[in-house]
Structure 1
Amino acid sequence: MVIGKIPGRIIRKNKAQYVGTIFLIFIAVVTYLSLQLSMENITENYRDFKEKYRQESAHFSTLKPVDVSYFEQKYNLSIEERFQKDVEWQGKTLRVLSKSQKVNLPYLSREEAGDVIYIDPLFLKANGLKIGDTITFGGKKYKIAGSLALPDYIYIIKNDSDLLNDPNEFGIAVLPTEEVKTLGPVPYHYYMVRGKITDEFVSELSANASLLSLQKITENPRVYYVDAKIKGAKIIATQFPTLLLVVASVLLFTVLRRQIGAMQQEIGALFALGYTSGEVLRALLGFPFYLWLFGSVLGCVAGIGLAIPLARFYAAYFNIPIISFKFLPQIIITGLLLPAVFIFPVTYLALRGMMKRPVLELIKGLEKGRFKKPFLKIGEGTNFLTRMALKQGAINAARGIILIVGIAFATFLLAYGLAAKDSIGKLMTQSFGEVFHFQYQYLLTSPLDQVPEGAESFTVVPAKISGTKINAQLYGIKPGSRMVTVRDKGGMVKLGGNGIVISKPLSEKTGLVPGQLMELETVGKKKLSLDIVAVADITLGNTIFIYQEDLNKLLNLPDNYYNGLWSNPKLTIPEDKLVAFFDKQYLNKALENTAKPLEISVSIMGMVAILFALAVIFVLTSLIIQENRRTISLLKILGWSNNEVNFMILGSNDLLFLAGFVLGIPLFYRLFNYLMAQATKVIDFSFNMIVSAKTWGLVFGVLLLTWLFAKFLNRRKIAAIPPGEILKEQVD
């Protein structure tokens, strides 16, 4: 059909506005396919890994050895003792674990006999080690035979309280059990369990083996952080490209509606020649077909290509082995067809009104020739150039709204990336700088004969919020503690009796506020009912503070009991007394190393924001220039310069740019708060989002440069329109 060539001819003639729309569709499809394919493969491999390699249901530690066979038979469980020891290698900490046989089986990249060791791939890469190298600790050399992954160490953090992993400073390794035992004694026994954990099992374990701690897999931050991140990434993988598609579709609707409006005489002529409405409609649906074809097909190819390296990146970050990679057809087909769900309906809406109008009205082009009165009343005393610019903006109000929304969304993207980096730093500074003033934390099996000089004792017990799955750390601190400053928004907080102060994340998760009671269950199912005095201005951790003497009384412990020490000088603690050790400097190094990949993420987010803003600006301004070619030509004949014509046609857009940026600020806070609320439901931190003026200045500067570049391109397009354009069109 000859008329079927019309869309292709018009797209080739007016490339600018269509290329921008194709680019947006391309970006949306690439984002959707790469994220969805990688996330689905990660999720599937993660599920297979946990099942095939027998991920634990829980782990616990005791002071006394446990009769494994007795508990296995009575409660139908698989229980295995794990031996582990932290060793120092070139100033780094390597946690050496015994190779398990029943629970938490290690995934090894390759196996080899002899004095060999397996180390997690992140530590190997960060420290310049490779398979075949030799590593020495404990007076013995081991050959690195391969890398490993463990089902209970998906997110490799040193301590349960750590938010960030740092492979430069900490890693895990596997050796045979007998080799681990030679590295030194451990003052407690560590067991892994697979099966259903019942209250009866926990009670009997507490009574018989002096239970120190028990952590279910759903409470293990080395696992549930990964679960939360994968769930969040899957949501973004669907919502973000869909949002881009919606924006692209609105732009497409605007472009096609204007383009078809300008074609009404040609459409009327086609009807006069005998073409039916169906034939004309099918021909003009070539517009969305070509846009969908180029945007979606190219996007699919690029998205599939990016999915594999993206999956490998996530797998390396989470230490999940890629057992197999599947190109899931349902995702590819969805990614290919999803744009069509938006594009074809908006094109039909743009054409529907045209199809119902009389042929003579279309041929006369009455709607095209009508003068559109702007809703804006402008005084005659205003400068002519300004009046023209404002009238052009008022006439094109619909496109102005789209431009404002596009700039606002680009503002959100760019600010989100920059603010995330700033907020991580603030999160750590506030929680570990302004609240906790110690350098080292030691957890003990029992009190020492004497508290070392310069140290401060505390009591800490794990607790669970009754009726929920939320776990917390209950700290008993001394009145007037030098190591911990407990403040709320009003200043210092005083405790006493059953009064407690809870951290901000814990308050947000439980919905509890000062004046309410908090019901807790500690190890051994001891129940406590405590009065919330205040919510501390602490943004990290599910933490509860109470005076040490009061906590000891509630737990029926001696008045002078403690199981932890805080200090600024490093202490020498006997190995048979030390359960765990925390150095705040490790956290600072983790933060510094995390800033590097964050910078890359911010750069990517910034580039997407810039390209998105540029595409929106370019599509809309190109459309305005195309529609006003005759006006531009006439103004040039009347003697106006290129700069003056540019100001009259596009000058009002400067105000729209500013309006979009201003709108983007509240949009950012609303969307950011929503995203953080979803993300922190299962993670023990809370963001106080206050973006600095410097950050907003940087966001504005980047977007302004993008805007000026787009204006430069538009100025060149206007300059390229000859004064005789109007005469040429009249001759044609």
Structure 2
Amino acid sequence: MVIKKIPMRIMKREILQFFSIIMLVTLATMTYTLFAVSMEDIDINYKIFKKDFVQEDGYFITSQKIDEKLLKEKFGVELEERLFYEIQQDGVTLRVFSISNKINKPYVEAGKMPRQGEVLLDPGFFKTRQYHTYDEIVISGKKFRVSGVGYLPDYIYIIKNDQDLLPDPKHFGVVLMLKSDMQKLFPVVPVHYYSYKGKVNNIENFKSFINSNWRLLKFVERNQNPRIIYTEMKLENAKRMTFPLSLFIILVSSFILFIVMRRVINTMHAEIGTLYSIGYTQKDVFKVFMRFPLYIWFFGSVAGVLIGFFEASSFAQFYRSYFTLPKIKTVLPWQHIFIAMVLPAIFIFLSGYLAIKNFFKLTIVQMLHGIDEIKFGKLPAIKFFDRFEFQTRIMLKYGWRHIGREVILIVGIIFSTILMMYGMTAKDSIITAIERTYEKNFKYNYLYSLNSVSTHPEIKLQSAAEPYNLLSFDIEGTKLSIMIYGIKRNSDMIKLYDEKGKEISVSSELIITKSLASKLGIGEGDKIKLKNKFTGKEYTLKVKKVSNLPVGNNGYMELESFNKLFGYGSGEYIGIFSKEKLDIPENMVFESYTKSELINTIKASAGDLSKTIGVMALIAAILALLIVYVLSTITLNENKKNIGILKMLGYREGNIFKMILGFNYVSFVIGFILGVPLSKLTMDSLISRATKDIDFAMSLDLSVNSILSTFAVLTVVFLLSRLLARQKIAKVMPVEILRGQLD
């Protein structure tokens, strides 16, 4: 049939308008394919990795060597001791482990398993420090040869300390060597490190038994290990965001297609009526006009799937290297490609069908005579508009007449604002939170964690150093833990402030961080029930104050009150805050780090965050550009006759543009204003959901910088789309409008 050529002819005539709709579909399918395929690839490889290389169910550190046989018989778990030593050299911290044979076995890439005098390096450190296979590395004064790159199932997210937010491969690396080499290099180790595998029926008894017999220094279950669960958390968050993001773009493109289909059919009312008159059936006409959604879906979804699929490999590799995950198996998740193709088809064909069906409710006579615009209902007139001068009145009436489109524009700007604001704020908030916390609240420069709790008479504390005590507790009714510090009453190292900036005095009562209070939904005067992680003993403590600390699940008490409450002797402590570097024997130190390490880690990792932010900002900008441009061109195309008449009356193009599309500026501002608080709610929800079961918390606060940056970018995009749409007015000639009226 000749009428089959109608859709393609119209699409060629309005190529930019239909191309924009196709781009929306492409963006939606590309987003879904990119994230779904890459996350599936990472997820499957992660599951293979943790199973085949025996990821631990937990680890613990003791000050004394345990009786492995006794522990296995009593609790039915598999145990493996892992030699562990940490050294600092040339501004770099190296965490050295012996190679395990049963639990946390290394996966070797780009090389081979080390022999005598050889080591494996973690991939981040290997790449950042520009090592090559068979290069030499000096560890504690002795030369070793780098035999390859090693991945560990329990060090997927390679952070130095549990409280770190991001890896810093420039200053921290994991080294694996033979047990015999470690014993020669480090004849005396200060602590004993054990990994365990197997389900423990009563974990509290397990910890209590270890503590009472071999003095437990640290106990971390798998689901509380940030080096493991941060990976799973990030994967889950990426999956959770993929579907809503893609679905939103598809719904917006489907709604716009619905409007376009109504406009196309309405402008062809005479042709369709004529087709009926000469014998074509409704079915024939219906089939022809359903080619519009078919072409849009086909070109958009195929392009999106192809771009998303081919980019998924590099995106997965970027994500994988960020989490230190090896690629063990090539994955082709065809089910996600199928979903990416089918999902937009459902909404696009449905919108096209509804638009066409609505027109077919008219009689042939109505079709031949035509109607200005098909509507499902009639909007009431608003007399308030008549108070304004002519141009403003026309602008308001056009906005009210096309209120559905204005709502879509508002929703699109809201969504773009949330997407862009999340990216901008994530970077700013992390850096700001760390700088504020570790510079305003934490005044120390060095932190030392010792391998035992005592008065430590052998250590002579200087004036620039302060002792602290520390215990970890489970919070009853939640999966959360809290680290409670016992610090000096008038500490110069830890400064706590309330919301108004007034300093909080440390006393015998508990002070908790703002982030923890928010997560628990409690405030001053409330009580929390705690259980000691090592002994299982329970406590109920009253929250005296909430400190304005944005990160960490921490609590603070006065040191002597802490010791008395939790059964320690007067003057006993387990760690030292210091403004100067202390000379403490290595066999007494369990962990140590400097405050500058953490701050430098965050700032050095800002570049990696910027890549993710760039992608999110680009998607938000493209989405806003396409939505504004398509909606603008639809309105202008529908009003060519009115534009021609206004030109004949002497109105300039700028004034005409203001009258017909001026209300878009109002919608843009409304969308952005609503988007800012919704961004805060969305980010708080995402962060709360992501950190609800881990011993870390932070809030993303909207900064003036992030708000202004988002507004500036979206404004540029909005004005660019307006500039492109405005060219439509210049092409409308009054002569053609008059000729059309005569025809």
Aligned residue identity for 1:536: S
Question: Equivalent residue for 1:294?
Answer: 299
Query: Per-residue displacement from partner, 1:25-61 (whole Å, max 9, x unpaired)?
Result: 1011111011011111111111111111111111111
Name the residue aligned to 2:52.
52
Which residue of 277, 285, 291 corresponds with 1:280?
285
Percent of pairs with identical residues: 35
1:652 matches 2:659: no
Among 139, 152, 155, the alignment partner of 2:154 is: 152
Alignment deviations for residues 478-537 of structure 1 (CA, whole Å, 9 cap, x no partner): 21111112233353334544x211223332333343323322222122222222212221
Q: How many Å apart are 1:232 and its aligned residue?
A: 0.7
Name 1:448's counterpart in structure 2.
456
Cα displacement (A) at 1:588: 1.1
Deviations 1:125-159 (A, max 9, x none): 21222223221122222222211111111110111
- Residue of structure 1 in register with 2:342 after alignment: 337
Alpha-carbon deviations, 1:537-591, whole Å to 9, x = none?
1121111212211221223221111111101011111112111102111011101
Q: How far, CA to CA, are the matches of 2:247 and 2:472 in structure 1?
A: 42
* 8 Å Cα contact 1:506-1:684 kept in structure 2: no
Deviation at 1:219, TM superposition (A): 1.1
Q: Structure 1 length normalisation: TM-score? A: 0.95
1:220 counterpart residue number: 225
CA contact (8 A) 2:116 2:181 kept: no
Aligned to 1:328: 333
8 Å contact from structure 1 (residues 224, 682) kept in 2: no
Matched, 1:472 2:482: yes
Following TM superposition, by how much is the alpha carbon of 1:476 offset from its aligned partner in structure 2, in angstroms? 0.9
Distance 1:164 1:242 in 2: 31
Instruction: Give the direction of change, closer, same or farther, for the CA distance of 1:369–1:189 in structure 2 (3 Å limit).
Output: closer
Compared CA separation, residues 380 and 157, structure 1 to 2 (3 A): closer
Render the CA deviation track for 1:153-207: whole Å, top value 9, x for unaligned.
Answer: 1110111121221111101111001112233322111111111233443333222
- 1:630 paired with 2:641, answer yes
Q: How does 1:560-709 map to 2 (within 5 A)?
A: 560-709=571-720
Question: Deviation digits for residues 421-462 of structure 1, max 9, x if unmatched?
Answer: 111112212322222111111111234214420210111122
| C-alpha spacing 1:405/1:337, structure 2 compared with 1 (3 Å) | same
Change (3 A) 1:689 1:139: closer
Structure 2 CA distance, aligned partners of 1:707 and 1:468? 46
| Aligned equivalents of 1:333, 1:176: Cα separation in 2 | 48
Q: What's the offset of the Cα at 1:383?
A: 4.3
Equivalent in 246, 251, 254 of residue 249 of structure 1: 254
Q: Could you say which residue in structure 2 is the equivalent of 1:188?
A: 191
Q: How many residues align?
A: 731
- The answer on whether the counterparts of 1:25 and 1:248 sit within 8 Å (CA) in structure 2 is yes
Check whether the contact 1:459–1:561 (CA below 8 A) recurs between aligned residues: yes
Q: 1:718 to 1:431 in 2, by over 3 A?
A: same
Q: Distance in 2 between matches of 1:135 and 1:666?
A: 52
Per the alignment, do residues 394 and 211 of structure 1 end up closer, same or farther by CA in structure 2, a change over 3 Å counting?
Answer: closer
Q: How does 1:103-502 map to 2 (within 5 A)?
A: 103-109=103-109, 110-111=111-112, 113-184=115-186, 185-197=188-200, 198=202, 199-366=204-371, 368=373, 375-377=381-383, 382-446=388-452, 447-449=455-457, 450-453=459-462, 454-489=464-499, 491-497=502-508, 499-502=509-512
Match for 2:690: what amino acid?
A
Aligned-partner SS, 2:601: helix
Q: Distance in 2 between matches of 1:66 and 1:116?
A: 29
Q: Choose 500-509 or 188-197, whichever is displaced more.
A: 500-509
Distance of 1:375 and 1:115 partners within structure 2: 86
- Give the superposed CA RMSD: 2.2
Q: Distance in 1 between matches of 2:396 and 2:208?
A: 77
User: Tell me, what secondary structure is at the counterpart of 2:383?
Assistant: coil
Q: How far apart, in 2, do the equivalents of 1:659 and 1:496 lie?
A: 49
Cα deviation, residue 724, structure 1:
1.6
1:609-643 CA distances to partner (integer Å, 9 max, x unpaired)?
A: 22111101110111112112222223333333333
Q: Which residue of 1 aligns with 2:517?
A: 507
- TM-score, normalised with respect to structure 2: 0.94
Which runs of 5 or more structure 1 residues have no equivalent in the other structure? none
> What amino acid does structure 2 have at the position aligned with 1:41?
D
2:480–2:694 CA contact under 8 A, matched in 1: no
Deviations 1:646-674 (A, max 9, x none): 33333333333222222222332232222
Of stretches 711-720 and 636-645 in structure 1, the one that deviates more from structure 2 is: 636-645
CA gap 1:373/1:93 in 2 versus in 1, 3 angstroms: closer
Amino acid at match of 1:691: L
Alpha-carbon separation, structure 2, partners of 1:507 and 1:196: 32
- Matches of 2:166 and 2:158, distance apart in 1: 9
Q: Deviation of residue 367 (structure 1)?
A: 5.1
CA distance in 1, matches of 2:335, 2:650: 60
- Note the alpha carbon deviations across 1:660-696, whole angstroms, 9 max, x for none: 2222223322322222222221344444444233332
SS at 1:507 equivalent? helix
Contact kept, 8 Å, 1:630 with 1:725, in 2: the verdict is no
What is the distance in 2 between the residues matched to 1:64 and 1:691?
48
Q: Letter of the aligned partner of 2:9 in structure 1?
A: R
More deviation in 89-98 or 307-316? 89-98
1:709: how far off?
Answer: 1.8
Q: 1:649 to 1:101 in 2, by over 3 A?
A: same
CA offset at residue 102 of structure 1? 1.0
Amino acid at match of 2:566: L
Query: Is residue 518 from structure 1 mapped to residue 537 from structure 2 by the alignment?
Result: no
Contact 2:85/2:95, CA 8 A, preserved across alignment: yes
Unaligned runs of 5+ in 2: none
* Alpha-carbon separation, structure 2, partners of 1:316 and 1:519: 40
8 Å CA contact 2:157, 2:231 repeated in 1: yes
Q: How far apart, in 2, do the equivalents of 1:504 and 1:382 lie?
A: 50
Q: CA deviation at 1:294?
A: 0.7
SS of equivalent to 2:414: helix
CA distance in 1, matches of 2:317, 2:92: 26
1:722 maps to 733
